[in-house]
Structure 1
Amino acid sequence: MPEPREPRPDSRIQLLVAVGTDKHPFDRLVDWLREWHGEAAGEVVLTVQHGHTRVAGLPEAVPFLGHAELQAAMARADLVVCHGGPATILEARRHGHLPIVVPRDPTRGEHVDDHQQLFARRLGAAGLVALCESRRELLDALAAGLADRSRFTVAVDAEAANGRRAAVRRVGVIVEDLVAAAAGRHHRPWWRPWRRPGPNGPNGRRNR
């Protein structure tokens, strides 16, 4: 079970933003945060793990966090905003967060495919993340978190805390389903259902 978070002396919210380690930049999310932080700077202590994304104008920005560093940042945070990576989402929930998730969009050059969108939408429908696919949705979620951080806190059961078996199993099933769906979507079968075999068989030769 995560340790209870101590309120900050100045009452500001500790916000962690994690975009992961993918080589594609995630300028859209960082730009949204930059605009928002200009108005909310007095209410938050911001830490941004930005990967390969430019972060001019945002404080406490670091390209990458090691595993132990990420765990410590998750433990300190009151709110977590992240991309749609399964590992990041799982870690956030393990630390008692309902993560605010902005999935990467391949049509904007943010990823190679749409698996983050599919995954985050599935989790959003199940109530396991706060899904934000637009700037307005993100700003609304952040405003709600600043007003009441408990809205983005989840209970961590003993099994998940000890070994994350339940959470890993649930996320693994979702990932497997999405991988299978993507494979079916992109796979081109060798057979052509619209061609009917003639009297000599499907390849033009008489069957023997």
Structure 2
Amino acid sequence: MIFVTVGVQLPFDRLVGAVDTWAGTRRRSDVVAQIGSSKLVPKHIRYQATMTPTEFRRCVTDATAVVAHAGMGSIITALELGKPILIMPRRAAFGEHRNDHQLSTSRLMAEQNIVTVAEDEGELIKLLDRIESLGRSAEISSHAGAQLIGRISAFIAEIDRGR
């Protein structure tokens, strides 16, 4: 199963539409999506607007791959569960977000080979055609490591000494 998620804050019809078209032309019946407040009504994929956190996590767990906006919650959940994730960032120019922070997020993560990024619908379709070959993500912990906790503690102590 391929799980698609666009979050719940704003519509992302461009991503939902591209995946729905792809699923229809490829005769894929294994696509499940959380489409948020999308105005688009998918014709070829199973979907619902929202999910509980438990439903969302179960869909990611059951998925062979995740397709998402460049939202950190979606990315982190996929990485925690070791799932390949293909992201397409929302664009402010298309009214999909208030700014282009998702472009920055996706580029930084792509440079580190953490995610696969599609810059637009055409690239998304090409990557969907080979989604099974994306490979698993390295699983990350759901908790901060000792090194990060130590650095944060040292930072806070330094601020306290400066008061």
Q: Is the TM value for this pair above 0.5?
A: yes
Identity of aligned residues (%): 26
Q: State yes or no: 1:98 paired with 2:89.
A: no
Q: What corresponds to 1:16 in structure 2? A: 3
Q: What corresponds to 2:37 in structure 1? A: 52
Q: What corresponds to 2:125 in structure 1? A: 139
Q: Secondary structure at the residue paired with 1:61?
A: strand
Q: What corresponds to 2:138 in structure 1? A: 155
1:15 to 1:112, Cα distance in 2 relative to 1, 3 A: same
TM-fit CA distance, 1:151: 2.4
Superposed CA deviations along residues 37-66 of structure 1, whole A, max 9, x for unmatched, are 11122x441111000113421432100111
Q: State yes or no: 1:164 paired with 2:143.
A: yes
TM-fit CA distance, 1:98: 2.5
Q: Secondary structure at the residue paired with 1:31?
A: helix
Q: Which runs of 5 or more structure 2 residues have no equivalent in the other structure?
A: 149-163
Q: State yes or no: 1:82 paired with 2:65.
A: no
Distance 2:133 2:91 in 1: 29
Superposed CA deviations along residues 52-81 of structure 1, whole A, max 9, x for unmatched, are 113421432100111111110001001100
Match of 2:20 among 25, 34, 40: 34
Higher Rg of the two aligned structures: 1
Match of 1:111 among 97, 100, 117: 97
TM-score by length of 2: 0.82
Q: Secondary structure at the residue paired with 2:83?
A: coil
TM-fit CA distance, 1:150: 4.9
TM-score by length of 1: 0.65
Q: State yes or no: 1:61 paired with 2:47.
A: yes
- Aligned structure 1 segments of 4 or more residues deviating by more than 3 angstroms: none
Count of matched residue pairs: 145
Give the root-mean-square deviation of aligned CA atoms: 1.6
What letter is aligned with 2:66?
Answer: V
Superposed CA deviations along residues 171-196 of structure 1, whole A, max 9, x for unmatched, are xxxxxxxxxxxxxxxxxxxxxxxxxx
